[in-house]
């Protein structure tokens, strides 16, 4: 962990080197998008509340154990009139276990359960989920069909605590949830 934190400055420098030119030329880039008619102005609407939910995970395989961590967070914005929460919403989970090839499958599955729990309880007009609805099913299924019986049992326990089945049903049926993958292999805008 210390090595990771000590290297953070270098990562920031590298990201700045890649993104700096784009940020410096953002006015020209925006004009190019406008010229291509990819940016349009629509009629104004009343501000509504919005929340975005995302998650992340890590599995560190040490010489002796697997250390798994997952976290999901809900953020909102952009003004006082559209905020509903009094603080950032988050879920976190850790597990130290013997080595298991399926540890990542469990950790991803838990992360999805955490995202769904935050999404389910978000009182916002619009809720944005990172990924597609299918992503949720794929990751949950991956943990549920792991070869490791221990992984399957742990996933089920966490999901019961988070009420994941109910949250998935609600997420699949709610008309105010926008499931938005942020990345695909296309380079098209």
pLDDT at residue 183, as a whole number: 65
Q: Where are the domains of the chain?
A: 1-41, 46-180
Range 46-180 classified under CATH 3.30.420: yes
Instruction: Give the model's pLDDT for residue 40.
Output: 79
Give me the pLDDT at residue 74, please: 94
How far is CA 17 from its chain centroid?
A: 25
Output the tens digit of pLDDT for each of the chain's 189 residues.
677 677 788 888 888 888 888 888 888 988 998 899 888 777 887 888 899 999 999 999 988 899 999 999 999 876 677 788 888 899 999 999 999 899 999 999 999 999 999 999 999 999 998 888 888 899 999 999 999 999 999 999 999 999 999 999 999 999 999 887 766 666 665
- Look at residues 106, 114, 74, 71 and name the one whose alpha carbon lies nearest to residue 92: 71
66-93 tens-digit pLDDT: 999 999 999 987 667 778 888 889 999 9
Alpha carbon 95 to chain centroid distance?
Answer: 19
Q: According to the model, what pLDDT value does residue 188 have?
A: 63
- Report the 10 Å Cβ neighbour count for 78: 10
Report the DSSP beta bridge partners of residue 175.
none
User: Got the DSSP string for the chain?
Assistant: -HHHHHTHHHHHHHHHHHHHHHHHTHHHHHHHHHHTT------------EEEEEEEEEEEE-SS-EEEEEEEEEEEES-GGG---SS-EEEEEEEEES--TTHHHHHHHHHHHHHHHHHHH---SEEEEES-HHHHHHHHHHHHT-S-HHHHHHHHHHHHHHTHHHHHHHHHH-TTEEEE----S----
pLDDT value for 37: 87
Cα–Cα distance measured from residue 150 to residue 127, given in angstroms and rounded to the nearest whole number: 33
Give the integer Cα–Cα distance in Å for 149 and 69.
Answer: 19
């Amino acid at each position: 962990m210390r090595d990771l934190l000590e290297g953070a400055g270098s990562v920031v420098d590298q990201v700045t080197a890649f993104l700096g030119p784009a940020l410096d030329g953002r006015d020209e880039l925006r004009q190019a998008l406008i010229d291509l008619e990819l940016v349009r102005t629509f009629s104004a609407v009343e501000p509504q509340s919005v929340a975005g939910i995302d998650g992340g995970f890590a599995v560190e395989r040490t010489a002796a154990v697997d250390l798994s961590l997952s976290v999901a967070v809900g953020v909102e914005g952009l003004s006082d009139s559209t905020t509903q929460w009094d603080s950032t919403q988050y879920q976190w989970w850790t597990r130290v276990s013997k080595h298991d090839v399926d540890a990542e499958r469990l950790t991803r599955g838990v992360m999805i359960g955490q995202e769904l729990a935050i999404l389910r309880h978000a009182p916002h007009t619009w809720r944005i989920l990172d990924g597609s609805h299918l992503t949720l099913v794929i990751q949950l299924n991956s943990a549920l069909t792991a070869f490791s019986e221990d992984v399957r049992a742990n996933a089920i326990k966490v999901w019961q605590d988070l009420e994941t089945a109910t949250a998935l049903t609600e997420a699949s049926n709610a008309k105010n949830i926008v499931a938005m993958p942020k990345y695909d292999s296309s380079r098209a805008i």
